Structure 1
Amino acid sequence: MDIRQRSDSTLGIARRVFDSCVALVSAAAAAPVAFALAEGMAMSRIPRGGLEAEEYSSDENLHDLGTVIELI
């Protein structure tokens, strides 16, 4: 019975080591994938029309440094 108990405990330890390695690898792989998915979802919600710069045809609203002054 001593040999059977040793083999059972050795297999049990080996299985726990294997399971913990699998858990570490899956956690290390899941974090970048989750970040990429979240970033992609956030980028898809940004309206494409809002990213272009507005063009001003006249120079009357421009400051000396080229910044836009809005008159209320």
Structure 2
Amino acid sequence: MSERPLLRIVRGNPDDAELAALTAVVAAAASAPRGEPAEPPRRSWWSDRSKLLGCPVRPGDGAWRASSLPR
């Protein structure tokens, strides 16, 4: 039975600790789930700073109250 090795070193001369680290990384990568990436968490409307970009500042009576209204 001629099985292919899991890892093959093609350059250099690693010691036992380096081989162990490489084996751990490859094993962790192989056991990682391969599904679709999880959706990013939704941001609340209040913390979304992109709403403030490009909006002109309008000073005047009641401006502080209107600043929290959706645009």
Structure with greater proportional helix content: 1
Task: Settle same-fold status: TM greater than 0.5.
Answer: no
TM-score w.r.t. the length of structure 1 is 0.35
TM-score by structure 2 length? Answer: 0.36
Larger-Rg structure: 1
Q: Which has the higher contact order (CA 8 A, sep 6+)?
A: 2
